[in-house]
A = this chain, B = another copy of it.
Amino acid sequence: MTEATRKDGRTVDELRTVTIERGWSDQAEGSALISFGRTKVLCTASFTNGVPRWKSGSGKGWVTAEYAMLPRATNDRTDRESVKGRIGGRTHEISRLIGRSLRAVVDMKALGENTIVIDCDVLQADGGTRTAAITGAYVALADAIEWARGKKFIGQRSTPLLDTVSAVSVGIIDGAPMLDLAYVEDVRAETDMNVVVTGRGLFVEVQGTAEGAPFDRAELNSLLDLALKGTEELAALQRSALETAAGVGE
């Protein structure tokens, strides 16, 4: 399968160059500027002691996320959602996906009555923005939790993070399953799938859509194989970023 090469020279089962600049922000409790090739997403984690009223008294914390794109992240300028006065369906959908993905690896009891909001702002978009956002958001989240531990908002023995989590896109192009689609590939894909996987290799989300022809069970299996390979590599990169000393923001 790995013989076919792509426009950018990658094999079908190869990730783009992934970089994680941890601690990019001087202001946030955790942050990471992540890039999947030319896709760049700034992820910041804002920690607040306390929870929304509807969670109050539950002894549990809350993690949520908001995704957005700068107007000129894309090749053509997109109108700002703040100017339009409403958030589009795609933005809502991705924000909800990121939030669910992170909550899947958080023990809310261990987090205690604390809230973490993750903002994922796409500075430049070249396909895979939601998967880069999830992967970077995990790093920002992990740092915010360590920050809170340092401030004693979270106990020394509490381990709110049950596992790591990362995500990658896969798709079928001209009949061939491929890993981590760039924008030019994404628009041509017959089937497009985003897969969110924990460090232990379990699925958190599987979202596959036939953009062109519907797909059969064998294709689905090939895509899942690729996704598991990609997220395993991303998990290693996350671990490595979290082991090195963070930037100024820490």
For A47, give the chain B residue with the smallest CB separation: B77
Q: How far is the CA of A191 from the CA of B115 in the complex (A)?
A: 24
Which residue of B81, B96, B217 contacts A89 across the interface (Cβ within 8 Å)?
B96
Q: Can you tell how many copies of this chain the complex includes?
A: 6
For A163, give the chain B residue with the smallest CB separation: B214
Which residue of B88, B207, B216 contacts A202 across the interface (Cβ within 8 Å)?
B216
Q: Is A5 an interface residue (CB 8 A)?
A: no
Tell me if A85 and B83 are in contact (CB < 8 A): no
Tell me if B100 and A209 are in contact (CB < 8 A): yes
Q: Is A42 an interface residue (CB 8 A)?
A: yes
Taking the nearest CB of chain B, how far is it from the CB of A114, in angstroms? 14
Given contact pairs A27-B74, A46-B71, A104-B214, a sample of 18 additional A-B residue pairs in the complex whose CB atoms are under 8 Å apart? A25-B124, A26-B38, A27-B73, A27-B75, A42-B123, A44-B70, A46-B77, A80-B82, A81-B82, A86-B87, A93-B93, A93-B96, A198-B214, A202-B214, A203-B210, A203-B215, A203-B216, A203-B220
| Residues of chain A at the chain B interface (Cβ within 8 Å) | 25-28, 31, 38, 42, 44, 46, 48, 66, 68, 70-77, 80-93, 95-96, 100, 104, 117, 119, 121, 123-126, 163, 193, 197-198, 200-210, 213-217, 220, 224
